């Protein structure tokens, strides 16, 4: 297959590109380093520097013998993405090319505008790249479980049948996200659904939970092939922040009461899910929505796990609750279903003590590089 | 009250500006003539030329003694709209500043991009103009009944309580619009709801059906104060197209089987609804959604009414069905509720034979200007 990976420099994009290349597919990774620029601007650079894409591809070729083609381009530029589709003619496009941070989107009006226009603009350009050049191309889009928010009813996989006043119909599951970033993913889903049902575009929209982990078969080939590791409050997810805090000897900072429940998954499982989506394309005009996580945890669960495993390794980890910078429910009902990816063959890698210990040990190699000023919340919702 | 009317040159914007000014409010109308430009570009100019806003305001002042302030500005420009909010400090903003045509949005990739970026961009700028300068300002946004599509269950006013697996919650009513233009209104609603619940913005989102009519107390003061009248396939709605066809001696062209049901309202009732919304502001953080129409008709109902009244006036009107250029259900369940505006005091002006005869007589004054090439569908969905 010819696989186009948009956002190929990202935490998920680069491991995905390597995974498909290692499986013998023809892979083109595209990025404009937007996340690197935003991380610099917001003093949120990752734990260790990762080489630029051309250099990563060179090293990956040397270590594995496989090619990842690279193109540096801004996917919000209609002409740039049009040329990429016309030249590469992908069978599937994996669309990660979005500003990926909730806190970043809540920093300022300017950051909110960039998030909205970038994320919607790229999705729009991807749709038209497909329509203009490869109408059978399968769009695999990374959405987020955060689109659903925390409703008081069970979260189904993207759709819900509603019975109302004695009649029934099937609808997109209603969405209510907790940040502007997550809201742009809601808008993406609306837009993709419109183009699927009206123009026959093929779409898989993956409602993914927070991902953790640094190890994949390809990333493990060389230190310079590792995905970026953000432990800051802006681009770091809670698991990675807790791991960095444990290593740095800082208390793990739980936002508020810590009852916030979400679905999490190992980076290895993101790769499996995206591969399963690509290998099982959908029909023309179909929008398939799959919930992509493997385990539900509260923030308190995560703090308990990381502190317990950290203490076993002799790290003396404390846990502190701090004022919640976000607007979110800290205790809530959460029953999210996920069966489709398991039915396609996903074999989950649970968050075992060994997995957490592995992350702690990897991050400990960079202990001296952890910058404490980046970890505590610097962005308040609604100020 | 200080009322900011964005899109003040439009079919609804100009009558709205005059109505509020005539009621003694302080009114600033803003427009960049985007609709005029698009009409020119798509060979869809209206039946008669309307003066530019400054000239309309001058004539209105002369005829009524009331002022409408005018500013020509592009509301997608963040700085322009920021200055307008900072200088005018409105109590309420009526946001009509959107590309308003379904067919226009389906003409081409370029038209779709302009529709998406214009409509979302202006809504975003309005929200931030309010947040930065007048956080208590009431945003009155024109949405569309088209956001809901044609579901097989009753259409409620914006929200629905869903009972699912023995639990309940209240959600935005699920939406599935029939054109990209209508989809941008869905995205607007998503965005406004996020900013209402997260930042406390006050919003009324009016789900309006197609509007018809040329007469308002202020528009009737002088021919040059009339709203623009589009009878083309792109910016003209079905009622106005039928009226123009009846006058021009062309058969009324029903798209497909003609069972498409929608909620319609008289321009006089749009003005009442917007006034009622402005006079009854919502609380901070509230998104009030009201369905704004007064009567449900099928396209066949409208063809029957216009042809019958036209024949009474001696016009010899025929009705033809033609291939439907749109993707839409031509026979469907449609039971849309509207009670909130009636409870606020709306007194509907139904589509009586007299109202239709009035439109036919007004348009007959311009019979020689009707350009037949503009009326039949020039835009196909999904080509």
Is the confidence at residue B275, as pLDDT, over 80?
Answer: yes
Measured between alpha carbons, how far is A133 from A126 in angstroms, rounded to an integer?
11
| Annotation says B69 is catalytic | no
Measured between alpha carbons, how far is B293 from A115 in angstroms, rounded to an integer?
35
Residues of chain A with pLDDT under 70: 383
| Annotation says B361 is catalytic | no
Q: State what percent of residues in chain B have pLDDT above 90.
A: 99
Å between A282 CA and nearest CA of chain B: 19
What is the Cβ-side half-sphere exposure of residue B202, based on CA atoms within 13 angstroms? Answer: 17
Considering only CA atoms, which of B78, B91, B49, B37 is closest in space to residue B279? B91
Q: What is the pLDDT of residue B382?
A: 76
CA end-to-end span of chain A = 47
pLDDT band at B383; cut points 50, 70, 90: low
Reported as a single tens digit per residue, the pLDDT across B111-149 is 999 999 999 999 999 999 999 999 999 999 999 999 999
Question: How would you classify the pairing of strands A202-208 and A138-144?
Answer: parallel
Measured between alpha carbons, how far is A172 from A281 in angstroms, rounded to an integer?
20
Minimum Cα–Cα distance from B113: chain A residue: A124
Q: What is the pLDDT of residue A113?
A: 98
Measured between alpha carbons, how far is A81 from A79 in angstroms, rounded to an integer?
6
Which residues of chain B are within 8 Å of residue A116 when distances are taken between CB atoms?
A: 120, 124, 191
What is the Cβ-side half-sphere exposure of residue B44, based on CA atoms within 13 angstroms? Answer: 28
Measured between alpha carbons, how far is B22 from B217 in angstroms, rounded to an integer?
9
Contact across the interface for A176 and B174, Cβ inside 8 Å: no
* Measured CA distances, B323 to B203, B239, B257 (Å): 40, 18, 9
What integer is the mean pLDDT of B160-177?
98
User: Residue B104: enclosing H or E segment and its boundaries?
Assistant: helix B102-105
Contact across the interface for A191 and B169, Cβ inside 8 Å: no
C-beta of residue A78 within 8 angstroms of C-beta of residue B113: yes
Measured between alpha carbons, how far is A157 from A335 in angstroms, rounded to an integer?
11
Å between B248 CA and nearest CA of chain A: 33
When scoring B109, B111, B182, B287 by the number of chain A Cβ atoms within 10 A, the one with the most, hence best to mutate, is B109
Q: What is the pLDDT of residue A383?
A: 59
Q: What is the pLDDT of residue A284?
A: 97
- Outline where DSSP puts E strands in B145-189: 159-164, 167-172
What integer is the mean pLDDT of B332-360?
98
Helices (H), chain A: 13-22, 34-41, 53-64, 78-88, 102-105, 109-133, 180-199, 238-248, 267-279, 299-312, 340-344, 353-364
* Other Cβ atoms within 10 Å of B108 Cβ, number: 13
What integer is the mean pLDDT of B246-265?
98
Minimum Cα–Cα distance from B198: chain A residue: A382
Structure tokens at B90: 């409105």
Which is catalytic among the residues A76, A96, A141, A185? A185
Q: What is the pLDDT of residue B222?
A: 98
C-beta of residue B190 within 8 angstroms of C-beta of residue A183: yes
Which is catalytic among the residues B11, B96, B104, B181? B181
Structure tokens at A184: 């742009």
User: Residue B79: enclosing H or E segment and its boundaries?
Assistant: helix B78-88
Which residues of chain A are within 8 Å of residue B190 when distances are taken between CB atoms?
A: 175, 183, 186-187, 190
Minimum Cα–Cα distance from B168: chain A residue: A153
The ipTM assigned to this model is 0.97
| Annotation says A366 is catalytic | no
3-class secondary-structure state, position B95:
strand
When scoring B86, B169, B188, B381 by the number of chain A Cβ atoms within 10 A, the one with the most, hence best to mutate, is B169
Which is catalytic among the residues A16, A76, A144, A150? A144
Q: What is the pLDDT of residue A208?
A: 98
Q: Which residues pair with B263 in a beta bridge?
A: B296
Contact across the interface for A164 and B154, Cβ inside 8 Å: yes
As to burial, measured by CB atoms within 10 angstroms (0-12 exposed, 13-18 middle, 19+ buried), residue A25 is: middle
What integer is the mean pLDDT of B328-334?
97
Q: What is the pLDDT of residue A130?
A: 98
Which is catalytic among the residues A11, A181, A195, A264? A181
């Amino acid at each position: 297959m010819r696989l186009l990976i948009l956002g190929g420099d990202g935490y998920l994009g680069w491991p995905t590109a390597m995974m498909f290349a290692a499986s013998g597919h023809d892979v083109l990774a595209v990025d404009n380093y937007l996340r690197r620029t935003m991380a610099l601007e917001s003093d949120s650079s990752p734990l260790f520097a990762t080489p630029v894409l051309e250099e990563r591809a060179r090293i990956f070729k040397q270590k594995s013998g496989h090619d990842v083609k690279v193109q540096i381009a801004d996917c919000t530029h209609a002409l740039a993405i049009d040329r990429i589709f016309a030249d590469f003619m992908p069978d599937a496009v994996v669309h990660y090319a979005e500003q990926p941070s909730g806190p970043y989107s809540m920093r300022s009006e300017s950051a909110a505008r960039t998030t909205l226009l970038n994320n919607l603009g790229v999705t729009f350009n991807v749709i038209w790249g497909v329509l203009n050049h490869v109408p059978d191309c399968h769009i695999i889009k990374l959405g987020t479980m955060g689109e659903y928010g925390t409703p008081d009813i069970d979260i189904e996989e993207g759709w819900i049948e509603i019975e109302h006043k004695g009649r029934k119909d099937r609808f997109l599951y209603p969405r209510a996200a907790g940040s502007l970033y997550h809201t742009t993913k809601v808008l993406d889903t609306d837009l993709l659904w419109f183009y699927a049902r009206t123009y026959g575009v093929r779409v898989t929209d993956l409602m993914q939970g927070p991902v953790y982990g640094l190890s994949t078969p390809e990333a493990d080939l060389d230190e310079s092939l590792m995905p970026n590791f953000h432990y800051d409050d802006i681009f770091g997810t809670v698991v990675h922040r807790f791991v960095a805090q444990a290593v740095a000897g800082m208390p793990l900072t739980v936002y508020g009461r810590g009852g916030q429940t979400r679905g999490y998954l190992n980076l290895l499982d993101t790769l499996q899910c995206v591969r399963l989506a690509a290998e099982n394309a959908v029909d023309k005009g179909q929008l398939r929505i799959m919930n992509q996580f493997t385990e539900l945890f509260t923030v308190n669960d995560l703090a308990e796990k990381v502190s317990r495993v950290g203490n076993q390794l002799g790290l003396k980890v404390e846990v502190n609750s701090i004022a919640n910078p976000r607007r979110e429910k800290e205790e809530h009902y959460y029953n999210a279903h996920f069966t489709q990816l398991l039915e396609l063959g996903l074999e989950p890698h649970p968050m075992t003590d060994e997995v957490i210990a592995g992350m702690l040990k990897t991050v400990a190699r960079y202990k001296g590089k952890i910058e404490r000023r980046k970890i505590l919340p610097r962005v308040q919702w609604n100020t």
